[in-house]
Amino acid sequence: EDGGPQPEKHCGHGRGGMGEDVKRKEDQRFITGRGNYVDDIKKPDMLHCEIVRSPHAHARIENIDKSRALDVDGVVAVLTADDLREYDLATMPTLMADTQDVLVNDKVKFQSQEVAAVIATDRYTAKDGAQKVVVDYDVLEPVVDAEESLEDDAPLIRDDIEGQEDNHCLDWETGDEEATAEVFEEADVTVKEQMLYQRLHPAPIETCGALGDYDPGKDKLTVHMTSQAPHIHRTLFAQVSGIPEHKIRIVSPDVGGGFGNKVPIYPGYVVAAAASYVLEQPVKWVEERSENIQSTGFARDYDMTGELAATDDGEILAVRTDVLADHGAYNAVAQPSKFPAGFFNIFTGSYDIDTAYGSLTAAYTNTAPGGVAYRCSFRVTEAVYLIERMVKVLADELGMDPAEIRRKNFIQPEQFPYESPTGWNYDSGDYEGALDKALEMADYDHYREEQQRRIDEDADTLLGIGISSFTEVVGAGPGKTCDIAGVEMFDSAEIRVHPTGNATVRVGVQTQGQGHETTFAQIVAEELGMDVDDITVEHGDTDTDPYGLGTYGSRSTPVAGAAAAVASRKVREKAKAIAANELEAAEEDITWDRETGEFHVAGAPDRSITITEIAAGAYMNHPSSEEPGLEAVNYYDPPEMTYPFGSYIVVVEVDRETGEVEFEKFVAVDDCGNRINPMIIEGQIHGGLAQGIGTAMLEHVTFDDNGNVTGGDFMNYLLPTSMEIPNFETGHTVTPSPHHPIGAKGVGESPTVGSPPAIVNAVVDAMSHAGITHVEMPMTPDTVWEKLDEAGLST
């Protein structure tokens, strides 16, 4: 009655609880144009901020002349590092405790770095002013390639770090190097492949922005900002500025997509807040698109070498990987402090592999800092890509079917909880079940026959079938192993049931479009027997919400979702005492019926009471044994992470003349444990698959040798549109998480994590009969055509 995972049979009692396709509450405002984003917020006497950015990737600043900008009518102030230094704000810590210039102190380290800020009465005037700030640069040689940056003669980027003599950022290793080497020496078969997970940008529809609003009367600084993690941002603001934390309020209103891009603190946020503090007027800063792509947190940029050792019949014995990571000009990756390579060390994937070793070297380059978790749990995307690509490479080497080799190596359902050789504790899984379902949905055997037919008939188009059977790791904490800037990664929910029987729920996570206002209400509706329409979910305001670590890495459901369930159960416990009082029965005789949502006297089902009646009792007739009111809060520190998984099958047609790739079939079977809202999950899967297609086929932030960003706007950084997106066929299996209060796992990032290897495997598969083992992303027609040509398949 009171806990444990709730199987799907509980779904569908009609109150909008678990498993129901409740329409998204938030859509009413979004589809009627009433969303409230940072740039929609207007305050009396509001000023606007424009940032002057460096055109050079590496240059020493010799002089900044503000005078012509200050002459522009409407320009109120021009700020440089010298001005910020007066307030001790010239630098700020990154999420990895590196020190980043807010405005360049001495030397520019990447193109578009923030050099000065112009504050004016309107945005256009601020822009005019910015164009009149004259900066003298002594241009230095840049290095934008991680491998070149580690060469002896590379220019030193971080001369601001004492003792730093090269561009080496950090080293990391995991697993057992010696044992892995021994297995490789003795194995029947070994395979090796080098692959680049190219630099991507999360590119949310809404760029980053902030509105600093200092109230001198209350001595309180409010910052409305595009934040995926308002509370931790408040703590960091307090630490950097010295303003006491209770005098700072961060409000993250509607956010138009985050995808990890809105986890770090950017100089623009600090400048808007500081300018408002100094000028005692509200100051707004909102980026343009190219500023967002060129200067805010990029993702990936892992150059990986993967190796597998196996028996002749396809049993994988060991995996080894070595990574060169480009961290940009500062170490600003977004990952829990104790994980220098994020969750990359889950690279043994869905397979029961005894022996593993991984090593990584990170380098500084003259590129924007980043390495954010773009719709991904801290580098799990790179890990999944590595292992799922390598399994395909091994299958081809052995002449085995890629589905068969996966089946042979999967961790079996009875092995859970499963401890991996790199220290992860998988909660539950049925990998073969998901793969079998996907194979059936994809009509796998038919396509294998069709593939062979085309080869035999020397057809103009080749067919390729790609599989990815990924395992994700989501829901960071636990707090003892995961933290952000020292703050443990728990999350929270607070429920207040009002006297008339409806409730306000506040959560510590912050939605960026995932539908939390609906799904969190569904969890509470399920656990309290309330109607989902009677529950309002609030988030994104540090003055009112309980402290939480924010939304990224699909952690909302695993952590804050658990908090919502536990807080509901606390309310339910108190409700029992009130029910006993109202029904004139002993508290231990009161039971709760999940189906009806009512509280009964045991053995007398007609003596029942609803949560609405109990709410009235809590405020109007509370028992003397209890305090009045009906509220609860829970701070949930997860015992473990959750491990959603799935199998994706992609069938592509490759044109031998043009190298163009067409999607013939796209099947995605996901398992996120118990499902709160299947319709929302379906939307999450569709969106994530679209981003996976962008990754595999189109997107890449590129640089020229002078350090210019050549992929820094939407003309050159190609996002997928409806024209590139095929019809998706989605399916699911349900393997509840045994430790999550409602048996749910996260789901939001699974499709972005799981789909790129399936797509690349499909394109490789079209050419593997001719010896092709890898195609680099993005698989543009010219990249694919070169591979066709190399294999003698082009026409």
Query: What residue ranges bind ligand CDP (CB under 6 A)?
Result: 514-516, 519, 551, 554-557, 672-677, 680-681, 684, 744-748
Question: Around Cβ 219, how many Cβ atoms within 10 Å?
Answer: 10
641 and 477 in contact (C-beta within 8 Å)?
yes
From 113, 523, 44, 32, select the one nearest 296 (Cα to Cα): 113
Classify residue 686 by burial, with Cβ atoms within 10 Å: 0-12, 13-18, 19+: middle
CA distance 432 to 450: 24
- Collapsed DSSP state (helix, strand, coil) of residue 569: helix
85 is catalytic: no
In the complex, least distance from residue 785 CB atom to ligand CDP, rounded to whole angstroms: 37
Cis, peptide link before residue 478, omega less than 30° from 0? yes
Longest CA pairwise span in the chain (Å): 86
482 among known catalytic residues: no
Give the shortest CB-27-to-ligand CDP separation in angstroms.
13
**Closest distance between ligand CDP and the C-beta of residue 755, in Å?**
16
Nearer to ligand CDP, 515 or 707 (CB): 515
* CA 200 remoteness from chain centre: 13
Q: Round to whole Å and give the CA distance between 250 and 360.
A: 36
> HSE on the CB side for 348, CA within 13 Å?
27
Q: How far apart are CA 438 and CA 448, in angstroms?
A: 14
d(CA 265, CA 225): 10
Q: CB 385 → ligand CDP: shortest distance, Å?
A: 20
Instruction: Give the ranges where 107-229 is alpha helix by DSSP (H).
Output: 123-131, 146-149, 177-186
Q: Is the CB of 261 or the CB of 674 nearer to ligand CDP?
A: 674
Q: In what order do the strands lie in the sheet with 491-497?
A: 535-538, 503-507, 491-497, 631-636
- Exposed, middle or buried: residue 62 (CB in 10 Å: 0-12, 13-18, 19+)? exposed
Please say if 749 is a catalytic residue. Answer: yes
* CA gyration radius, the chain: 27
- The active-site residue out of 199, 320, 375, 506 is 375
Residue placing its CB nearer to ligand CDP in the complex, 572 or 745: 745
Q: With beta carbons less than 8 A apart as the criterion, state whether 191 and 312 touch.
A: no
Amino acid symbol at 112 = S
Catalytic residue among 376, 494, 527, 672: 376
| For ligand CDP, the closer CB: 221 or 685 | 685
- Residue 264, preceding peptide bond in cis (omega within 30° of 0): no
Closest approach of ligand CDP to the CB of residue 230, in Å:
14
Total count of residues recorded for the chain: 795
Report the nearest approach of ligand CDP to the CB of residue 515 (Å).
4
- Residue whose CB is less far from ligand CDP, 466 or 694: 694
The closest alpha carbon to 411, from 394, 427, 400, belongs to 427
Residue 297 or 748 having the CB closest to ligand CDP? 748
Residue 5: which of 744, 642, 746, 745 has the closest Cα? 744
- Cβ distance to ligand CDP smaller for residue 15 or 392: 15
Q: Calculate the CA 379 to chain-centre distance.
A: 10
What is the smallest separation between the CB atom of 8 and ligand CDP, expressed in angstroms?
11
Nearer to ligand CDP, 395 or 681 (CB): 681
Minimum separation from the CB atom of position 551 to ligand CDP (A): 5
Smallest distance, ligand CDP to C-beta of residue 529, A? 19
Tokens of 248: 């700072």
| C-beta separation of 523 from 517 below 8 A | no
Catalytic: which of 228, 294, 514, 684?
228
Q: What does the alpha-carbon distance between residue 435 and residue 468 come to, in Å, rounded to a whole number?
A: 9
Cβ nearer to ligand CDP, comparing 516 with 600 = 516
Is 376 a residue of the active site? yes
Closest approach of Cβ 679 to ligand CDP, in Å? 9
Strand duo 134-139 + 59-65: pairing = antiparallel
Burial level of 763, CB count in 10 A (0-12/13-18/19+)?
buried
Q: Which residue has the tokens 């193109």?
A: 111
Task: Closer to ligand CDP by CB, 93 or 256: give it.
Answer: 256
Residues annotated as catalytic (active site), given as ranges: 228, 375-376, 749
